[in-house]
Amino acid sequence: MEYVILGLLMLRQRSIYEIKKILEETISLFYSASFGSINSAIEKLVAKQAVTVQEQVEGGRFKKIYSITPIGQTLFEQWLTSAIPQEKVKDPALTRLFFMGFLKPSEQIRLLSEHLGSVQMVHAQLSSLLREREQMSVATEQQALADFQWLTLEYGVAYYSFNINWYQQLLSKLEESGNE
């Protein structure tokens, strides 16, 4: 979480609400965060002197604005250039699938069909965002960053395409074996 916040602050200074909003709008496909986890990460970054906080009153409301420091920039760049660790697949559907043999075939098909529907909805949303990309203009100095950000969206579309295909094949097998 700390490095994600540093990356967002590399672009510009932000309030915690702006950080939360941009997390929801951009990287929620692969990263989610609560206000509590964001606050905790920011407190750690302030303690490390990686981030500074400026208190302002805007529109009669008290607001804290966070900015990255040179220490924070160094930490972020070190993280970004370090080796990418291999992670385990974190998909709750796989845990259910592992134990699905305990269910009757009709329940297996019902649950998997519902799950396929939700996967298809996410795929449609991401595909829509991908189509919107064509109407967006990006400042020349931000183009390389934007290109890699769009690649994460393309990954999401491909990931959900794979899942749709895989679950469709599984459902076909289950339906065929139930009709024999």
pLDDT tens, 13-56? 999 999 998 888 777 666 677 888 889 999 999 999 999 999 98
Domains along the chain with CATH numbers? 2-81 (1.10.10.10), 92-178 (1.20.58)
State percent of the chain over pLDDT 90.
Answer: 56
- Residue 10: pLDDT band (50, 70, 90) is very high
- pLDDT at 99 exceeding the cut of 90: yes
Buried b / exposed e across 86-107, counting CB within 10 Å, b at 16+? eeeeeeebeeebeebeeeeeee
pLDDT at 34: 82
pLDDT at 78: 96
Q: What is the mean pLDDT of residues 98-122?
A: 95
From residue 4, give the alpha-carbon distance in Å to each of 85, 111, 119, 162, 178: 16, 35, 26, 27, 47
Q: Can you say whether residue 59 is alpha, beta or left, with left for phi > 0 and alpha for psi between -120 and 50 degrees?
A: left
**Mean pLDDT computed over every residue of the chain:** 89
Residue 133 phi/psi, 5° resolution?
-55, -35
